[in-house]
Amino acid sequence: MSSDNGAFVDLTSSPYSSPHSAARDGPVTMSTVELAAIDQTEALRELRSDHEVLRGEFLATRGRAEDLDHQLAAAANAASPFVLFSQPKYEVERLDNYRELEACRLRYHDLQLRYREAVSEFQDRISTLEAQLVTASFFGVIVPPDTARRIADLESQLERSQYDLKVERDRQSSLASEHRESATSHKAAQAEVNRLKAAIERKPRRFRTLRDNYERRLKVADNTIATHSAELDRLQDQVSTLDRDLLQVSPTCPRCDQAKAERIATQDRVSAARDTIARLEKRINQIEKYQKSRQDLEFALAALQQERGGLVVQRDELLGQLRELFMEVTDLRAERDQAEERLSSIASLLPSTLGHKRARSQSDFRPSLLASPRSLDRLQVPSRPEVREAGIISSVHWPSRSYFSICSIDRQGWPRGASSSPAVSDVGAHSDGGESSSGKSSSTRVFDSDVVGSDSGSPELRRAKDPFGMPLGLYRTLS
């Protein structure tokens, strides 16, 4: 403002009189040189420039105050979720904001004082210029035409400047009202800050109390507390970078949407995989059931095989008994052959007539003693393949009145001649399917040498007859 003082000069003769005293003291002397030195246009230009500068500073200060209010409100809203995790950092930020707010308030107060001083100074200069013009016109000083035109221009500029001054005063009043409103909002913000500070002061005490309680009760949780401390430090770092990350979040929104879509797709794939796993588990349970049933069947098969082994052992025992019986039959047949030889020798010694009589008596006695082929044919005899596959059961009555049960005779087990012994082989070939135990009833058949001879038709069987003309075979003695 010292540069502005050189542009305005005192038009009174007394160097110590003020502009207001010069306007009140009455007539004063003026010189045309001093009037010519007045540059009202330059003064108004400087006045307007200073006013614009002050107005810009005032608006900047008010904007800064509003920004601080918004920051305080945002910090108050954002502080509640993080107050337990970021209490020290929050207190430091609040303290910094408070100091910055106090500095802004002081600066705003200084700017307001400077603005008021400049306005009062400009008003004093304008009133001084008006008094000088009135004094010059009152004394009737002869002014050159150029100076008169310049004075007229200055008067018009003065009127415009007065109008501008009025406008500026109105603006000043509006700014003052805005300043009062901002002061009110600042007071409210300050009250909110005080309330938040009190809450923050209470919360650390409460936090310390809870921490002491937890330290007393949970002494074994040192590792967890260390982990929480690390998490607290990380959250403090996050809180310190929230303002910087806010501007970087907006470009990542499309990527977040894409990641969300991918996550939904992944969840769908996971659900499908879970369904597949459930189906596979059901299938595995079924397979386990099948395996269990298979094991049961294998156990049953092993039991059946064991029973089959026992039956095979029994069959071997029965075959052994059958061989013994056939050995006895062979011995008996040998005895019978010897008896027939003795009988034939005796018959050869007897006369021929006696032989014919005995032959007739034997032929008459033959139907009553021996089983005829027709009577044998009337018996239920199974077919030849059945005889070969399953065997035949016959009940033979020998002269010694012994009964033999011949089981499972082989298809080639009958004697081919009188002098030959029966060939006994392993009979009853078993099959894995269990066809030997099918439950078919075997028919009883009495085999005679005639029947066997009729089946075979060999010459040896035709010649194998006893001296009485009967074929050699199995005799059936009537009891």
Q: Which of these, 180, 179, 139, 141, lies nearest to 28 by C-alpha position?
A: 139
Q: What is the pLDDT of residue 184?
A: 81
Contact present, 447 and 414 (Cβ < 8 Å): yes
Which residues touch 437 (CB under 8 Å, ≥6 apart)?
A: none
DSSP string, 54-90: HHHHHHHHHHHHHHHHHHHHHHHHHHHHHTTTSHHHH
d(CA 61, CA 103): 11
Phi, psi dihedrals of residue 53, rounded to the nearest 5°:
-65, -45
- Which alpha helices (H) appear in 350-411, and where do they start and end? 352-369, 373-378, 384-390
Q: What is the pLDDT of residue 301?
A: 92
The residue assigned the tokens 């298979």 is 294
Greatest alpha-carbon span in the chain: 221
Q: What is the pLDDT of residue 24?
A: 41
Using CB atoms within 10 A of its CB, is residue 392 exposed (0-12), middle (13-18) or buried (19+)? Answer: buried
Q: Which of these, 84, 83, 66, lies nearest to 75 by C-alpha position?
A: 83
Q: What is the pLDDT of residue 50?
A: 77
pLDDT along the chain (479 residues), means of 10: 38 38 41 51 72 80 79 72 60 64 78 82 79 68 65 77 80 78 76 79 76 69 68 77 73 76 87 88 88 90 92 92 92 92 87 55 44 40 40 39 39 40 39 40 39 43 48 43
Q: Which of these, 336, 330, 332, lies nearest to 423 by C-alpha position?
A: 330
Please give the structure tokens belonging to residue 14: 């007394």
Q: Which of these, 262, 92, 250, 59, lies nearest to 171 by C-alpha position?
A: 59
Q: Which of these, 391, 410, 399, lies nearest to 333 by C-alpha position?
A: 399
- Which alpha helices (H) appear in 218-351, and where do they start and end? 222-240, 242-249, 253-349
Please give the structure tokens belonging to residue 46: 């400087």
Number of residues that this document lists for the chain: 479
Q: What is the pLDDT of residue 335?
A: 93
- 3 state DSSP class of 363: helix
Which residues face 396 on adjacent strands? Answer: 404
Contact present, 71 and 135 (Cβ < 8 Å): no
